[in-house]
């Protein structure tokens, strides 16, 4: 019987976690916690942080929607923690209505942020 070395075990665990997609999630959670520590964000200090203006909340939600759509789930997790976004995102219909975006089949298949960029491009070319 051949015994696995410690390095072999570490590599096997790492490979298994990467295959399951859990390693990236763990790294994102660790980065989030380190950022909280460096920022001095304890649970007691969170309540003293001022609430951002409505436009900043909408912008953060647009960015989160884009990150989730493109598959940057770890970046989205860090954004949520740093901006103190709730786990449940704001409904897309509310965001579209707030921004005055008229949804159609084409816009519904992509993030609102992309729709806004395309609108500005169209306006620039007219």
The length of the chain is 126
Half-sphere exposure of 12 (CA within 13 A, CB side): 6
Give the sign of the dihedral formed by CA 57, CA 60, CA 64, CA 66.
positive
Q: What is the pLDDT of residue 60?
A: 96
Instruction: Decide if 23 contacts 14 (C-beta within 8 A).
Output: yes
d(CA 9, CA 12): 5
User: Please, how many CA atoms are within 13 Å of residue 118, restricted to the half-sphere of its CB?
Assistant: 10
pTM of structure? 0.66
User: How many helices and strands, by DSSP H and E, does the chain display?
Assistant: 8, 0
Contact 110, 65 (CB under 8 A): no
At 8 the pLDDT is: 85
Predicted local distance difference test score (pLDDT) of residue 88: 92
- Listed as ranges, residues in the chain with pLDDT below 50 are none
pLDDT on residue 112: 94
DSSP labels, 24-60 = HHHHHHHHHHHHHHHHT--HHHHTTSPPPPHHHHHHH
Residue 45: predicted pLDDT: 52
Identify the pLDDT of residue 58: 94
| pLDDT digits 0-9 by tens, 7-25 | 888 888 888 888 887 888 7
């Amino acid at each position: 019987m051949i015994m696995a070395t410690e390095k072999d075990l570490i590599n096997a665990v790492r490979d298994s976690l990467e295959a399951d997609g859990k390693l990236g999630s763990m790294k994102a959670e660790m980065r989030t916690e380190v950022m909280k520590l460096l920022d001095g964000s304890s649970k007691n200090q969170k309540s003293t942080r001022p609430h951002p203006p409505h436009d900043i909340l909408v912008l953060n939600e647009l960015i989160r929607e884009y990150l989730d759509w493109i598959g940057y789930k770890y970046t989205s997790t860090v954004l949520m923690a740093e901006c103190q976004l709730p786990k449940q995102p704001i409904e897309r219909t509310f965001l579209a209505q707030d921004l005055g975006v008229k949804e159609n089949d084409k816009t519904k298949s992509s993030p609102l942020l992309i729709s806004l960029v395309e609108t500005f491009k169209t306006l620039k070319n007219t």
